[in-house]
Amino acid sequence: MHKIKVRINGRDFEDEVDSRLLLVHYIRQKARLTGTHVGCDTGNCGACTIIFNGKTIKSCLMLAVQANGADMTTVEGLAKNGLHPIQEAFMDRFAIQCGYCTPGMMLSACSLLQTNPQPNEAEIREAIEGNLCMCTGYQQIVEAIQYAAEKTRK
Amino acid sequence: MIPNKFEYIRPNTLQEALSILSAYREDAKVLAGGQSLLSLMKLRLASPKYLIDLSGVPELNYIREESGRGNSARIAIGALTTYAQIKESAVLQAKSPLLVQTTHLIGDVQVRNRGTLGGSLAHADPAGDMPAAILALGAEIKAVGPKGARWIKAEDFFVTAFTTALSFDEIVAEVRVPVLKGYKTAYMKNAPRPSDFAIVGVAVCLQPDGGRTCQNITIGITGVTDKAYRAVGVEESLRGKQLDPKIIEQAASRVTDGVEVNGNIHASKEFRSYLASIWVKRAIQAAMSGA
Ligand SMILES: Cc1cc2nc3c(=O)[nH]c(=O)nc-3n(C[C@H](O)[C@H](O)[C@H](O)COP(=O)(O)OP(=O)(O)OC[C@H]3O[C@@H](n4cnc5c(N)ncnc54)[C@H](O)[C@@H]3O)c2cc1C
């Protein structure tokens, strides 16, 4: 067992974890933040995407022990005073169908807009390449991200 | 999927990592970005008893220019440098852009944020992209072990699928690529979907002599056989020649000379060989028209 200290969405957690506990399971089962989803569990689908020390990663391809000392954001950390502009844009532009990919999709979108506030369509598509939507609602998702970018420009 | 039980160790220096590796021998594995190893462990295709996480070894993460012997300036890249760092590197973009071009076609944002150059080479996936690029660049790989460091040429590094010239107690510390003057480079790949592994991947370093004549060319191929390789036949057929479409096409047909081509669900042997010749041609043309 290993002692870890992490910060998720501004809250500090301290736990003892088994070395083989995956980060995604830690987030869901120990931190009880179930917005981070387990999809393919092979690193392909991106449903488990979180922001880890400022960068998006797939939390099914990391161990909880590796996160010791890290600062993470999950989908629950997006809304501060009301919904995050990305969340509003996903609602306004109907970018959600079954919703399974949505948390990862939104975190990838946030991460893109942080480094590139006015992305073009190709850049948006590249940014969400690691997030699969099995409802294939990509068109609305891309439009929602464009819409969020436009709104924050104003 | 949950990995088998293992003990997790996070050393703070390369020396410490090496002595742990020497102590536990084949029972230990080093962990870099985890984008291949953790998947293998979850599938229980790999079950190391000791997992040595290199993330605490900051001395393995850097990109720096080195004025080498004579005019052979080089860029040294630490093994733990991520694809994302390579993709954003101004030095590499300006002086040796092939690796940057290659990272654009590897995985997706999240994979590039974690996956490392050293990991991709040590993993030696027969369809990995970086192996083709470092072959075309004639890169050298620094392996450190209990007896010190040695340099391995890219062409001697890949032995067969998932097998390299590294011994169990060695760690890749650095990759050195040449600063390219008067070269044009390109990386192209054919994959079932974006961010998939290559059916065929082609890395090209081309030195034209002002006009359309090929003074020198090196070509690295991945996805075609059990390891990445240099397409020596194509290179020979192009050196000193005019790079017109007919000549390129003829040369490209030699891409699988002397190679046992893989056939699988994505492409039969025949189709893969055909794709290889097409994509070699395209990659050469891309290099010619590129910067
Ligand atoms: C969704 C997805 C898509 C992908 N797409 C592509 C793609 O398009 N093209 C591509 O080429 N790859 C792709 N990959 C694989 C990716 O490139 C891996 O990151 C890479 O193969 C391994 O690098 P790593 O740093 O993650 O190494 P790890 O997974 O940590 O390690 C891999 C192996 O290398 C060994 N190792 C690592 N570092 C060292 C070192 N410094 N010295 C000695 N041994 C070492 C480990 O012990 C292990 O055996 C993809 C992966 C995923 C999950």
Give pLDDT tens digits for B87-99: 999 999 999 999 9
Tell me whether 0.90 is exceeded by the ipTM. yes
CB atoms within 10 A of CB B157: 24
Tens of pLDDT, residues B180-225: 989 999 999 999 887 889 999 999 999 998 788 999 999 999 999 9
Domain boundaries, chain A: 2-76, 85-153
β-bridge mates for residue B52, sequence order: B9, B30
Q: B71 pLDDT exceeds 60? A: no
CATH number of A2-76: 3.10.20.30
Q: List chain A residues with CB under 8 Å of B110.
A: 46, 49, 56-58, 108, 130
Residues A127, A68: contact at Cβ < 8 Å?
no
Contact B6 A20 (CB under 8 A): yes
Scanning A103-122 for CB atoms below 8 A from B yields 108, 111
Q: Which two tokens stand for residue B37?
A: 């190893």
Any idea what the Cα angle at residue B97 is, between residues B92 and B103, rounded to 5°? 95
**Dihedral (Cα; B98, B103, B105, B109), 10-degree rounding:** -160
| CA nearest to B277, candidates B209, B224, B227 | B224
Q: Please indicate whether residue B164, judged by its CB atom, sits closer than 6 Å to ligand 1.
A: no
Residues B38, B3: contact at Cβ < 8 Å?
yes
Closest ligand 1 atom to the C-alpha of A42? 53
pTM: 0.96
Q: Which two tokens stand for residue B22?
A: 């020497």
C-alpha–C-alpha distance, residues B70 and B282, integer Å = 34
Per-position b or e across A73-90, b if 16+ CB within 10 A of its CB: bbbbbbeeeeebbbbbbb
Residues B276, B200: contact at Cβ < 8 Å?
yes
Could you report how far apart the first and last alpha carbons of chain B are, in Å? Answer: 45
- Could you tell me if A49 lies within 8 Å of chain B, comparing CB atoms? yes
Q: Which CATH superfamily is domain A85-153 in?
A: [2Fe-2S]-binding domain (1.10.150.120)
CB atoms within 10 A of CB B111: 24
CB atoms within 10 A of CB A111: 20
